[in-house]
Amino acid sequence: MVTVAVPGGTGGVGRTIVDAVRQTRKHIAITISRKAPQTQDPTNPVLVVDYNDVDALAKIFEQNNVEVVISAIFIFDDTSSASEINVVRAAEKSKTTKRFIISNWGIPTPPEELQLSMQKARLEVMNEISKTTLEWSQFYNGFFLDYYGMPHIQSHLNPVNFVVDMARKIAVIPGTGDEPVSLTYSRDLGSFVAATLDLPKWDEAFWAYSETTTWNEVVKRAEKTTGTQFKVTYDSTEKLMKGESTEMPSYATDSYIPRETSRILQARFGLFVVHGLFTVPEEKALNRKFPEIKTTTVQEILDLWKSK
C-alpha cells in the first residue's frame, strides 16, 4: 500500500487521479489544496495548505506517511510554478516521501520558439526537482478526449473547444488535418497513473493515450455519427506561425478562458499538432506495459452525440 498526496487535487485532473488511486483499493489518496471546499466531503477530505510554507508541507507529508506526490497544480505562470517548486522542496525535506510526478498532463516541452509561458514555468519546476534525491516523472498524454463528449460524458475537466466543436458541428483544423494526434480520456489517464505506483522503477517521462487518429478522421466519424455535415475550416501552418487562427464561436460564449487568450492558444496548439507534439509514440506508451487497461475509443465518445 502506498499513500499518495495530490496537490491541486480539487481540480479536474487532480480529482481524476484521486479517484483512480482510490479505485485500486490498495493505495491511499490524499487531496491537497490551497483553498477549502465550500463543503467537505467526508469520503474525500481536503487538506488545506499554504504552498509558501515548505516546513508545514513537509510535516503534513510525514504525518500522513506520504510516499508519493502527484502534482495536479495548474502551472501557467511564475506564481503557480513557485507553488509547485515549494511542494518539491517539501517532498525532498519529508522523511517519508520518495517519489514525485510533476504537473504536466499534456505534451513534451516544445522547441523554445513555440513555448508558451506555462511551459517555460514548468521548466523551472523540472530544474528544481532535478536537484533533489526524489525519483520523479511526468506524463505525456496528448490532448484530452473528454472535450469531445461534453456535456454527455463523465469528466471532472472544464470544457474546452479545440479543433472540433461537437455541439455546433464546426471544425477548425490546423495544418492538413492528416497529422497524427493522440487523444486521451482522463479516466484512462488516471488508470495509467495509478498503475505506475506499482512499478519498481520510474522513467523520467511516462507516455499514455486512448487512441491515436487524425483530425480529418475525427470529423469524418463525427459527421457519420451525427448525420450532419460539419462546417470545416483549415488554418495553414503559415497562418498559425503568425499567431492567427480562425475564431470558434465558443470563444465568446462557452469558454472559461478569455476570448483573446483562446485565439492565441488555438494558434499555438495548432502548431503543436503540425509539429507532432500531440502524438504519443506507441513504442514508448504505457499501453504496452499495461495491456489490461482497456482504453476508450474516439468512436465511443462520439457515439454520445447520436441523435443530439
Tell me the per-residue pLDDT of 76-117, one tens digit each, with 9 for 90 and over: 888 999 999 999 999 999 999 999 999 999 999 998 889 888
What band does 73 get if pLDDT is binned at 50, 70 and 90? very high
Task: Count H helices and E strands in the chain, helices first.
Answer: 11, 14
What does the pLDDT read at residue 122? 92
> What was the pLDDT predicted at 248?
87
| Residue 140 in this model has a pLDDT that exceeds 90 | yes
What CA–CA distance (Å, rounded) separates 278 from 70? Answer: 22
Query: Cell numbers of 215, please?
Result: 483530425
Burial class (CB in 10 A: 0-12, 13-18, 19+), 154: exposed
pLDDT at 197: 98
Cα(196)–Cα(294) distance, integer angstroms = 16
Cβ–Cβ contacts within 10 Å for residue 241, how many?
14
Give the mean model confidence (pLDDT) for residues 281-287: 97
Question: Helix or strand or coil: residue 114?
Answer: helix
> Which is it for strands 28-33 and 46-48: parallel, antiparallel or unpaired?
parallel
User: Crossing angle for the helix pair 78-93 and 117-129, nearest 10 degrees?
Assistant: 20
Q: What is the pLDDT of residue 62?
A: 98
Percentage with pLDDT > 70 across the chain? 97
Alpha helices by DSSP H, the chain = 12-23, 54-63, 78-93, 117-129, 186-196, 215-226, 237-241, 250-253, 259-274, 286-289, 298-302
The model scores a pTM over 0.75: yes
In this predicted structure, the answer to whether residue 277 has a pLDDT above a threshold of 80 is yes
186 CB contacts (<8 Å, ≥6 apart)?
A: 12, 13, 16, 144, 145, 146, 155, 156, 157
Q: Cα-flanking dihedrals φ and ψ of residue 276, to 5°?
A: 75, 15
Contact 143, 183 (CB under 8 A): yes
Taking the CB of residue 256, how many other CB atoms lie within 10 A of it? 8
Question: For residues 194 and 139, what is the distance between their CA atoms, to the nearest angstrom?
Answer: 12
Give the torsion sign (CA, 174, 176, 177, 180).
Answer: negative
Mean of pLDDT values over 260-270: 86
